[in-house]
A = this chain, B = another copy of it.
Amino acid sequence: MSGFERAAVRVIAVDIFGTTVDWYGGVAAQAGEVFREAGVGLDAGVFTNEWRDMYLPAMQRVRDGEREWAYLDTLHRESLDSLLDEHGVAGAFDEAARARLVRAWHTLPAWPDAVAGLARLRRCYTVAALSNGGFALLTRLVKAAELPVDCILSAELARAYKPAAQVYRTAARLLDVEPGQMLMVACHRWDLDGARAAGLRTAFVERPREKGPRHSADRAEDTVSDLAAADFGALADLLDC
């Protein structure tokens, strides 16, 4: 925490998928329903992990300039189609079922500490959602999970994806603060590394169950950040609000 001045922070930017909402539990539950209705015996939890694993490389291709910027929904749909092919079950899922699976990422449960913790942070700071999800997706997701934030700030507004510096800097510019006045909160090392490289302050929130029971998640001891907390309540304690 050396060099971290709480008083310098004016905006708290919170990552959404994994940090604030439980994508694994939410998508696996919804995918399980769709699989049952389709009569397909895939393990929805394993499938959810496989699907999510395709997300970082898909965004990397956008960042590397190999393809134009595209909505997260579009990336999810492309990787879903490949994955269903790989599992040899493409024929069991029509357009409506695939659209429903992509939309599963739009309605995800908040972690139990998120609503109360964010409400506390919001009393002291401007709190913004900052995710790679599109603006519409995030607005819908934040509303459904009743997350108390002051504004939605999607990577879409920068036509880029985290951890590209322009995403964090566009967020700071839109809120009229210096990058150093913004604290990025995430459970992913790569997100905090990107934020720090863009000049932001960083807070790690540990979500050991982020990827479900079969995968390990990033741990505080392996992550460089100004602050580290077990959940949003503990983060609010650290920030005295």
Set of chain B residues within 8 Å of A175, measured between Cβ atoms: 135-136, 139
Interface size grouping (class) on chain A: 10 to 19
Q: How many copies does the complex hold?
A: 2
> Does A176 sit at the interface, judged by CB under 8 A?
yes
Stretch at the interface among A20-28, A151-159, A188-196, A227-235: A151-159
> Does A67 sit at the interface, judged by CB under 8 A?
no
Q: Is B134's CB under 8 angstroms from A156's CB?
A: no
> Does A142 sit at the interface, judged by CB under 8 A?
yes
A138: nearest chain-B partner, CB-CB:
B151
- 25 pairs, A vs B, C-beta closer than 8 Å: A126-B139, A126-B140, A126-B143, A128-B139, A134-B176, A135-B151, A135-B174, A135-B175, A135-B176, A136-B174, A136-B175, A136-B176, A136-B177, A137-B176, A139-B150, A139-B151, A139-B175, A142-B150, A143-B150, A150-B152, A151-B151, A151-B152, A152-B152, A156-B174, A157-B157
Which residue numbers of A lie inside 8 Å of B, CB to CB? 126, 128, 134-137, 139-140, 142-143, 150-152, 156-157, 174-177
